[in-house]
Amino acid sequence: FKTLFKEALSAKRSFSLIRLSDGEGYLFPNGSHFTHDDCRNRERHWWGTELPPALSTQIVAEARSAISEADMVGIPSIHRFIRDNSEGSPSLTQSLQGRGLVEVLTGIERLASETAVFTEDKANVAIFADPKNLRWVTDIAERVVIISSIRKDALESVFDTLANIELIEIPTHHKTTLNPKYCKGTMPLPYAYPAIVDVIDRTVCSGDLVFVAGGIIGKILLGHCRRKGAVAIDLGHVIDDWISLNSSALR
């Protein structure tokens, strides 16, 4: 990881790591495991509303495009199946989460680039659970951009010693809309992301290191950052753990 990231940053070469877990079964709508009802369930869970079919189709297409261009793809490993199942489990697809995992593994080989490197979907935890591990990449990057739903003042307690950080706020997950540390936004993320893409186009430059925490829509944003020449990392829920720290993690 360190070698790949450092080489891309030093050469100002575009690079993206995109991770797929159970929710990303949503991105394989023509599969045989993750159902239409499962997709609508996830929309309500993530955004508090079901999407018009045309918008859902657009999101799936744009996210899949980003995944097909990714240099590194995180996929579910056997450890997740061991955690979620037992000898008495009748099927890996007995739950919504299980169907999502199986759908991802069934479809990813046909979607990912032939040159993509595969890793675990929880690689973000292994690498960046401790914010101090950011030092070996932030010291190389000319600028760091963080795209997440966490408010700027909440992140400042983590990054108060780093001056080269740009924050782009996005509407948060439905379950955290009442949490003052997160940006509620004026509309759910699926309706707001085209405007966020415009901000990315004006903000992100070649050589930037970009961390994205945005769920399904985050895959689209990662793809745009890569196309701008950035090194884009799918940070995911790890960023939520950072803000629970009592003092600056990078001091």
pLDDT tens, N- to C-terminus, the chain (251 residues): 878 888 999 899 999 999 999 999 999 999 999 999 999 999 999 999 999 999 999 999 999 999 999 999 999 999 888 888 888 889 989 999 999 999 999 999 999 999 999 999 999 998 888 877 777 777 788 889 999 999 988 887 777 655 678 899 999 999 999 999 999 999 999 999 999 999 999 999 999 999 999 999 999 999 999 999 999 999 999 999 888 754 444 44
Read off the DSSP letter of residue 112. Answer: S
Tell me, what's the pLDDT at 15? 97
Burial track 36-59 (b if 16+ CB lie within 10 A, e otherwise): eebbeebbeebbeeebeeeebebb
Tell me, what's the pLDDT at 251? 44
Tell me, what's the pLDDT at 138? 75
Q: Cα–Cα distance between 238 and 19 in angstroms, integer?
A: 13
Tell me, what's the pLDDT at 245? 57
Contacts of 126 (CB under 8 A, 6+ apart): 120
Q: Cα–Cα distance between 43 and 161 in angstroms, integer?
A: 37
Structure tokens given for 212: 């994205």
The radius of gyration of the chain from alpha carbons, rounded to an integer in Å, stands at 18
User: How many other CB atoms are found less than 10 A from the CB of residue 239?
Assistant: 22
User: How many other CB atoms are found less than 10 A from the CB of residue 116?
Assistant: 20
Contacts of 187 (CB under 8 A, 6+ apart): 171
Is residue 115 helix, strand or coil? Answer: coil
Which one, of 54, 62, 67, lies nearest residue 21 by Cα?
67
Tell me, what's the pLDDT at 249? 47
Tell me, what's the pLDDT at 162? 53
Is residue 210 helix, strand or coil? Answer: strand
Q: How many helices (H) and strands (E) does the chain have?
A: 11, 7
Enumerate the β-bridge partners of residue 146. Answer: 167, 211
Tell me, what's the pLDDT at 235? 95
Read off the DSSP letter of residue 188. Answer: -
